[in-house]
Amino acid sequence: MSQSHQSNPATPAPTEVTTRLPSVEDGIRLWEIARDTEVLDLNSTYAYTLWCRDFAATTIVAERDGAVAGFVTGYRRPERPDTLFVWQVAVDAAHRGHGIASRMLIDLLDRLAVEGVNRLETTITASNTASQELFGSVAKRRGSTLVVHDLFASHHISPTESDPHEPEQLYVIDPA
């Protein structure tokens, strides 16, 4: 059943989201967004700032109302330059639910396609259904295939048995 929704004139329309390359000035904001998710593995502010400098070409930020609302960090795999490995995807809580994450991934892939990048990889834990759905929807929107493999067992990425990390599965989006 379809429902009709009328917009409330008192509620401003959502502003446009734009995407761009990051700058070093964005590093701390990326760290804040990652921290506030409470689910991402948090790197240092230095790491996010360095990422914005050294991997700016394979990273993207989304802006809304002049502020960074989300980011995708990634890098080209040295032994497979046609592949973008996505390290982290995060959207600020105030901006979730508007398709910003998928928009960033698609914009980033479109930008890198001119450089020969046509394949995407990322790792996702079995409990992270939101990321599984995100990457599944990106593959579908691009008309690509999505293949999932086991990659890292807990003992590969857990520093101690008392601090276990879920195994990570490799998600691969290949052109159809």
Instruction: Show pLDDT as tens, one digit a residue, over the chain (176 residues).
Output: 333 333 334 434 457 999 999 999 999 999 999 999 998 989 999 999 999 999 999 999 999 989 999 999 999 999 999 999 999 999 999 999 999 999 999 999 999 999 999 999 999 999 999 999 999 999 999 999 999 999 988 888 877 777 778 899 999 999 86
Helix (H/G/I), strand (E/B), else coil: 172: strand
HEC sequence for 54-120: HCHHHCEEEEECCEEEEEEEEEEECCEEEEEEEEEEEECHHHCCCCHHHHHHHHHHHHHHCCCCCEE
pLDDT at residue 8, rounded to an integer: 39
Q: Among candidates 27, 21, 29, 70, which has minimal Cα distance to 49? A: 27
Q: Are 130 and 124 in contact (CB under 8 A)?
A: no
Helix (H/G/I), strand (E/B), else coil: 144: coil
CATH number, domain with residue 147: 3.40.630.30
How many angstroms separate the CA atoms of 29 and 32, rounded? 5
Q: Which domain holds residue 168?
A: 17-174
**Domains in the chain, number:** 1
- For residue 53 the two structure tokens come to 């400098």
Phi/psi at 144 (nearest 5 deg)?
Answer: -105, 165
- Structural domain includes residue 8: no
- Structural domain includes residue 11: no
- Structural domain includes residue 39: yes
- Structural domain includes residue 62: yes
- Structural domain includes residue 3: no
Which strand ranges, in their side-by-side order, compose the sheet holding 168-174? Answer: 17-20, 60-64, 67-77, 80-91, 119-125, 168-174, 145-152
Q: Are 77 and 85 in contact (CB under 8 A)?
A: yes
- Structural domain includes residue 4: no
pLDDT at residue 14, rounded to an integer: 55
β 119-125/168-174 pair status: antiparallel
Residues 6+ apart with CB under 8 A from 13: 7
pLDDT at residue 15, rounded to an integer: 72
